[in-house]
Structure 1
Amino acid sequence: MSGDAGEPGPAVRDIDLVRVRYVDAEGVEHLVRLEEAADVPFEDGQMVRSIPSHRDQGHMPGHYWVAKWGDLVDYESVLESKWLTLLDFDLQVTAFVTQPLEFDAIDARGAWLHTPDVFARRRDGSVLLLDVKNPELRDDPKVRLQEERTRRTCERLGWDYAMVSEPSGQRWVNIDLLSSARRPLQLGADLVPRLLELAREPVEIGELMRFMEFPDLARGVLYHLMWHQRIVTDLDRPLREATLVRTAKEALT
């Protein structure tokens, strides 16, 4: 993922100067003081750098289709695409963009540049900035310094920041499964009202499928509704035939 020009060393205590470079929706490049960056709608802009793609590189770039607004977002690695999936599923996230900005800074350790991986805007207007790192690199002193510098810079902006690696746990397994059904329905749209009605009260997935004339088709529609969280369940547990699902209150209004 994106790198850092600083040398490893003690924790950074002071940040003397930070500027932010970004490209707006019209393709115009800007360089502003950190204080000005807090109000910039980075989610509407363009990528500040292109993602390299060449033979024998250590990661696989690609394009993620975002269900929230029906368009493609570039990613730098399969690992990064997993975090885009999680952001796409998160109802509190309204927009996100990759390679959104570059920090151009000088601190007690010297000059440094860094392009974070993902900028996400939440429904309440708050910001989450993510760096996605191979877990094998997390203990690298340069990576730790990059994390410290970026975190402190985000604190000045009032943004949340996280350096993340491989998503883990049953929740990711389930969301990954449901993501296969995130695209608009081409078949089975007529089953939506019935599934929503039958799941007004908690019902097992297997029982719900027994009400369906074409259960294989209905299961795909169910997963689509679960991805869009119109039908919900406890995603921290494995999805089984005995899993209880129910229609979200918002889907009944």
Structure 2
Amino acid sequence: MSGDAGESEPSLRDIDLVRVRYVDAEGARHLVGLEEAAGVPYEDGRMVRAIPSHRGQGHMPGQYWVAKWGDFVDYESVLESKWLMLLDFDPQVTAFVTQPMEFDAIDARGAWQHTPDVFARRRDGSVLLLDVKNPELRDDPKVRLQEERTQRTCERLGWDYAMVSEPSGQRWVNIDLLSSARRPLYLGADLVPRLLDLAREPVEIGELMRFMEYPDLARGVLYHLMWHQRIVTDLDRPLRETTLVKTAAEAQT
């Protein structure tokens, strides 16, 4: 056996050199150190790599339509699209982009590269970086090492980081339902002032619908207003006819 008995395996922090590769809005490629990387507006740039799409692959790529700015964002899997939806709904998130940069690094265990799944910019300027992983892979040693390395890099950048899997809970169920009404209103747009007026005081959804001449149409408009958080409720509870809703302005008073 080589080495002294008291020797331990090198820490990942003993060697930790990271550079960041990204593509700006004009399509120019850049490779920068972490100090410069922290201030780059990745949300204005392009994806650092194209998402592969071929017959027989284990996931389904596609495009998510973002209500925040009315355009499409590419995603690599249906699971990833769910997290794009959650970011789209989050009022603190102002922009997000997929495949935003590539970390090109070396540490005590060797060289590594990683392209995180999603970069999100919050209203206060802070950053959330996400990796979306199939829950069946979360305990894979390679995945855990990737998570550790990316977490450590984000700490140095001053960013928040999370590796996420399948969203769960009642809140996700409700947001998924409301997302069906996130697109701009055409039919039923004239119902918006009436719904906002009736919801100035807390009112049950079922009662609100009884005021409407066309309740099926009005329900879709209500969900649109709830997606855009002009009418709010407790989304951690099931949405039922007895659920109380109210306008956002009234909820803040």
Which TM class, normalised by the smaller chain length?
Answer: over 0.9
Q: Does structure 2 conserve the Cα–Cα contact (< 8 Å) formed by 1:12 and 1:148?
A: no
Assess, with a 3 A threshold, how the Cα gap between structure 1 residues 17 and 250 changes in structure 2: closer, same or farther: farther
> C-alpha deviations, 1:26-57, integer Å up to 9, x for none?
00000000111010000000000000000010
1:71 and 1:250 map into 2 onto residues whose CA distance is: 31
Question: Any idea what SS the aligned residue of 1:73 has?
Answer: strand
Correspondence list, 1:150-169, <5 A? 150-169=150-169
Matched, 1:24 2:24: yes
The Cα of 1:170 is off from its aligned counterpart by 0.3
Matched, 1:73 2:73: yes
Structure with max Cα Rg:
2
The Cα of 1:10 is off from its aligned counterpart by 8.6
Q: Does structure 2 conserve the Cα–Cα contact (< 8 Å) formed by 1:95 and 1:120?
A: yes
2:148 and 2:243 map into 1 onto residues whose CA distance is: 42
1:201 and 1:82 map into 2 onto residues whose CA distance is: 32
> C-alpha deviations, 1:200-221, integer Å up to 9, x for none?
0100000000000000000000
Count of matched residue pairs: 244
1:80 and 1:222 map into 2 onto residues whose CA distance is: 27
> C-alpha deviations, 1:112-155, integer Å up to 9, x for none?
00000000000000000000000000000000000000000000
Correspondence list, 1:1-253, <5 A? 12-249=12-249
Give the superposed CA RMSD.
Answer: 1.5
2:147 and 2:76 map into 1 onto residues whose CA distance is: 18
Structure 2 length-normalised TM: 0.94
- The gaps in structure 2 that reach 5 residues or longer are 1-8
1:131 and 1:14 map into 2 onto residues whose CA distance is: 25
Assess, with a 3 A threshold, how the Cα gap between structure 1 residues 15 and 170 changes in structure 2: closer, same or farther: farther
Question: Any idea what SS the aligned residue of 2:59 has?
Answer: coil
2:250 and 2:206 map into 1 onto residues whose CA distance is: 24
Q: Which runs of 4+ in 1 moved over 3 A?
A: none
Q: Does structure 2 conserve the Cα–Cα contact (< 8 Å) formed by 1:230 and 1:250?
A: no
1:10 and 1:220 map into 2 onto residues whose CA distance is: 58
2:22 and 2:241 map into 1 onto residues whose CA distance is: 48
Question: Any idea what SS the aligned residue of 2:209 has?
Answer: helix
- % same residue: 90
1:161 and 1:40 map into 2 onto residues whose CA distance is: 17
2:10 and 2:93 map into 1 onto residues whose CA distance is: 34
The Cα of 1:251 is off from its aligned counterpart by 9.8
Assess, with a 3 A threshold, how the Cα gap between structure 1 residues 11 and 237 changes in structure 2: closer, same or farther: farther
Assess, with a 3 A threshold, how the Cα gap between structure 1 residues 245 and 42 changes in structure 2: closer, same or farther: same
Q: Does structure 2 conserve the Cα–Cα contact (< 8 Å) formed by 1:94 and 1:123?
A: yes
> C-alpha deviations, 1:91-121, integer Å up to 9, x for none?
0000000000000001011100000000000
1:190 and 1:15 map into 2 onto residues whose CA distance is: 62
1:250 and 1:52 map into 2 onto residues whose CA distance is: 47
Higher relative contact order (CA 8 A, sep 6+): 1
Q: Does structure 1 conserve the Cα–Cα contact (< 8 Å) formed by 2:204 and 2:242?
A: yes
